[in-house]
Amino acid sequence: MKAYYDLHLHSCLSPCGDKDMTPNNIVNMAAILGLDIIALTDHNSCKNCKAAIEVGKTAGITVVPGMELCTSEEIHVVCLFPDLDSSAAFDKYVNTRCMAIKNREDIYGEQLIMDSNDKIIGKEDNLLILASDISVSQVHRVVDGFGGVCYPAHIDRDSYSILSSLGGIPPECNFTAVEITAKGNVEKLKKQHPFICDIPLIKSSDAHYLENIHEPQAFLELPQCTPQSLVEILSNKNVIWGR
């Protein structure tokens, strides 16, 4: 099936995410827009994925548990998992690989954990936007060990991207896809970095506000519209992609 996706969304758990980015608002907005599959990818945390998945079941939209990990080089990497348990285990692991610096809500904003009724059930105390000590060359192996898949986020952006930091994608990173921004100029990017011609490009919104969630524009062919199928397909270098 053609599955229209947006695989990079932040909730109110990300300090930079809008307060209106609650599990219900995100999932229902995505459903109204007509998306088939979305991923929740807060900075360095998966703790709102449980609520979003539960809401997704009611709303009839597939929610993939995920995270936008900040590597030791301050490169953002989208990590996606086949189920809640693997994302929760990865979340626990990442906690041990990040600096424990308290969030300053007055500067960075709140980091809210919610249940499937959008009730606040906790707050993340440590600031989530800091670099972990996982390097970009390690991250594929680490995420793979938890059953997930990962790829560099918004590579055409001037900050927190693999191209802005390293100028290219070292082969030892073993990424099987890359993400470009919605406005990314694919042809220009391919000219500057020809290796991109051989790797699937994911166009996601990186929405921090409800109004920035994508209308259906990019799709991929999935045997089933499930997180498991998505992770499997994204891990496969030989897949032909719809864009």
Q: Retrieve residue 67's tokens.
A: 């995270």
- Asked if residue 74 lies in contact with residue 149, where contact means CB atoms within 8 angstroms, the answer is no
| Cβ proximity to Zn ion, 136 vs 153, nearer residue | 153
Rounded to a whole number of angstroms, the minimum distance from the CB of residue 133 to Zn ion is 18
| Cβ proximity to Zn ion, 35 vs 229, nearer residue | 35
Burial of 24 (0-12, 13-18, 19+ CB in 10 A): middle
Strand partners, 152: 77
84-96 and 49-59 helices, crossing angle to 10°: 160
| Cβ proximity to Zn ion, 77 vs 229, nearer residue | 77
Rounded to a whole number of angstroms, the minimum distance from the CB of residue 8 to Zn ion is 6
Rounded to a whole number of angstroms, the minimum distance from the CB of residue 205 to Zn ion is 9
Rounded to a whole number of angstroms, the minimum distance from the CB of residue 31 to Zn ion is 21
Residues that bind Zn ion (CB under 5 A): 68, 76, 153, 160, 206
| Cβ proximity to Zn ion, 47 vs 76, nearer residue | 76
DSSP string, 68-91: EEE-TTS-EEEEE-SSHHHHHHHH
| Cβ proximity to Zn ion, 3 vs 9, nearer residue | 9
Neighbours of 223 (CB within 10 A): 11
Consecutive H or E run containing 122: strand 120-123
Q: 203 — alpha (psi -120 to 50), left (phi > 0) or beta?
A: beta
Rounded to a whole number of angstroms, the minimum distance from the CB of residue 1 to Zn ion is 27
